[in-house]
């Protein structure tokens, strides 16, 4: 099953000019637990997917909110020349196809 089929919300945004945050939210505890226990959203996998060193990726599970937050360094600071998404709002797309 793809992440986009199990998550209710998948979004991205800046967490300051040098960091990007990815938010994944779920409808049920069962859906949250299934994804939270999967290695698919580990720092190594996310780092490869986004071409960021794994030590620059932090995965924060939040069971009470049925959510997972992923924070990583941006490759280009928001607003700098070459930045193609100044708000970080289009960076969640690679997560959609992740197999859980």
Q: Please write the tens of the pLDDT for every residue from 13-31.
A: 999 999 999 999 999 999 9
Class of domain 3-80+87-92: alpha beta
Cβ–Cβ < 8 Å for 4, 10? yes
3 state DSSP class of 10:
strand
Cβ–Cβ < 8 Å for 3, 95? yes
User: Which residues share a beta bridge with 71?
Assistant: 21, 58
pLDDT tens track, the chain, 100 positions: 999 999 999 999 999 999 999 999 999 999 999 999 999 999 999 999 999 999 999 999 999 999 999 999 998 889 899 888 989 999 999 999 999 9
Q: Residue ranges of the domains in the chain? A: 3-80+87-92
């Amino acid at each position: 099953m793809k992440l986009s089929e199990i998550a209710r919300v998948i979004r991205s945004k800046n967490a300051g000019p040098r960091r990007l945050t990815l938010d994944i939210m779920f409808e049920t505890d069962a859906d949250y637990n299934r994804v939270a226990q999967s290695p698919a959203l580990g720092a190594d996998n996310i780092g490869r997917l986004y071409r960021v060193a794994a030590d620059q990726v932090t995965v924060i599970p939040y069971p009470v909110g049925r959510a997972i937050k992923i924070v990583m360094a941006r490759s280009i600071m928001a607003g700098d020349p070459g930045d193609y998404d100044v708000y970080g709002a289009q960076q969640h797309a690679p997560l959609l196809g992740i197999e859980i």
